[in-house]
Amino acid sequence: MKFYELTPEKRRLWLKQQGIELDEIDQQTLHALNQLSENVVGQLSLPVGLVKNLRVNDHSYLVPLVTEEPSVVAAANHGASLFAQSGGVTARSFRNGIYGQIVLEISEAFVIDNLKKNLPNLIAKTNKQFASLVKHGGGVKEVKIKRQNTLLYLRVLINPAEAMGANRANSILEYMASELANYSGIKKKLFAILSNYPSQLTSCKAKLHVSLVGGAEVASRIALLSQIGQTDPYRAVTNNKGIMNGIDGVLLASGNDTRAVEAACGVWASRQGTYRSLSSWQVEGENLLGQLTVPLALGTVGGSINSRKDVQQNYRILGQGITSQVLANIIAAVGLANNLAALLAIATTGIQAGHMKLQARNVIANLVASPQEKRDVLALMTKQHLYSQTDAQKFLKQLREEK
Ligand code: MEV
C-alpha cells in the first residue's frame, strides 16, 4: 500500500516506528482532518480571539480572528474601538467575479472574428451546463480574447455566487476549453485554470476626530508614516503585513484561502509599477481619514467551510446567514483597524511596549513555576520592562532565593 493510501492511524504508527512520537489526538478529529488534506498525521491548533465591537455600515459585529501572534487581536480591538467611537467604518464590496484563463494553441487557419461572434453561444452553453451555479446567482459573465502569435488567450470572468469558487471556476474553464477544441483553427489546449489576479475588490473608509488618536500632532505623524508607505517599499511591505495580520486572521477563521488573497494583494499593491501601501491615511481639517482597498476573493460556502466544525463555530460568532459581501466588508475593516492601531503605536510609544507585554505572557506560560510565582514574575517583568525567557528565569530564581 502507498503511504497516502494508509489510514491516518497507520501513518502515525509508521512515524512512531521511525522514532517520532506524536501528540495524542482524538479519532473523530483525526478522521475529519483526513478528509481535508493528504498524508494527514496530526493537527495544529491556533487561538481564536474575538474582536468585540467592529462597526461596519452601521452594524456592530463580533469577529473571530485566528492568529498565533501576540498583539494582533489586541490591535484589532484597539482600532475597532477607535472606529466605533467615530461612527464606524463604511465599506463596499464589488462581487464582480473571479478570473480564469484558457490558453490554446492555434493554427494559421484560425480566424479570431469568427470566435468572437460565437462567444455569446459559448457563454450560454456553459451557463446551461453549470445551471446550479446560475441558480445561485453566478455563472460566466464575460470572456475577453487576445491572439499572440500561435497562442490564443481567453480571460473569463466568472461570478462564483456566495462561494470563493476556485473548484467551480476550474471545472467551468476546463469545460469551455474542451468546447473550444472543436472550433476551426484551434489545435489544442495549453492550460485552463483560474487566475488569482485581483478581483472582488472591497474598499473601506474611516474618519476619526484627531483627538481620538491623541491630537493633531499624532494624526499628522500617522499621515506622514502613511505617505512614506506610498513611496518606500521597505515601509510599505511592513504596513501591509500589519493589514494582513487582521485580514488573514478573519480569512482563516472563516475557512477561506489566505494564500489566494495574499497573492492577489501583492499584485494589487504593485499595480502602479512600484510596491505601495494598500492603505492611506491623511489629515483633513480636524479629522484623520483612512482608507483601504483590497482584493478579497472569498466565500461563505463551498470548499471545506460547511464541513469544518471549527469554522462553523466562527460563523455563529459572525452571525448565521452572513453573505460573502458582508464578510468581505468586515475583513477589510479589520485590516484597517489593525493598520490604524499599528500606525498609532509606531507614531507614539513604539510597537515594542505593547507587544513585549503580550510576549511576556507566552514566556510565563512556559515557565515551570507555581501560579503565584508566575504572577510575581510577570509583575517584575512588566515593572522592569524585561521580557525574555532568561529574564523570567532570573526573576524566578531571585524570588525563590528571597523566600
Ligand atoms: C507586526 O506584526 C505588524 C506591524 O509591523 C505593522 C506595521 O508596522 O505597520 C506592527
pLDDT digits (tens, 9 = 90+) for 389-399: 899 999 999 99
pLDDT value at position 394? 94
Q: What is the pTM of this model?
A: 0.88
358 lines ligand 1 (CB under 6 A): no
Supply the pLDDT for residue 275. Answer: 98
Find the 68 Cα to ligand 1 centroid distance in Å. Answer: 15
Q: Name the residue of 245, 248, 348 to mutate for ligand 1: max ligand atoms within 8 A of Cβ.
A: 245
Residues with Cβ within 8 Å of residue 321, at least 6 apart in sequence: none
pLDDT at 175: 98
Q: Is 23 a catalytic residue?
A: no
For residue 355, what pLDDT is reported? Answer: 66
- Third-level CATH fold of 48-95+199-348: 3.90.770
Write the residue with the smallest CA distance to atom 3 of ligand 1. Answer: 242
What separation in Å is there between the alpha carbon of 118 and the centre of ligand 1? Answer: 51
Q: How confident is the model at residue 212, as a pLDDT?
A: 96
Q: Decide: 101 in ligand 1 pocket, CB within 6 A.
A: no
How confident is the model at residue 351, as a pLDDT?
62
User: Cα(342) to centroid of ligand 1, in Å?
Assistant: 6
Per-residue pLDDT, 224? 97
Looking at residue 49, its pLDDT comes to 98
| Residue spans per domain, the chain | 3-34, 48-95+199-348, 98-194, 355-402
Per residue in 318-361, pLDDT tens?
998 999 999 999 999 999 999 999 999 999 976 666 667 767 88
Q: Which of 257, 262, 310, 376 is catalytic?
A: 257
| CB of residue 258 inside a 6 A radius of ligand 1 | no
Which of 343, 346, 356 has most ligand 1 atoms within 8 Å of CB, for mutation?
A: 346
Enumerate residue ranges in the chain where pLDDT < 70.
350-355, 358
**Ligand 1: centre distance to CA 298 (Å):** 24
Reply yes or no on domain 98-194 having CATH 1.10.287.980. no
79 close to ligand 1 (CB < 6 Angstrom): no
pLDDT at 271: 97
Is the CB of 245 within 6 Å of ligand 1? yes
pLDDT at 356: 72
Q: What are 152-187's pLDDT values in tens digits? A: 999 999 999 999 999 999 999 999 999 999 999 999
User: Is there an atom of ligand 1 within 6 Å of 144 CB?
Assistant: no
- Can 257 be counted among the known catalytic residues? yes
Which pLDDT tens digit goes with each residue over 296-325?
999 999 889 999 999 999 999 999 899 999
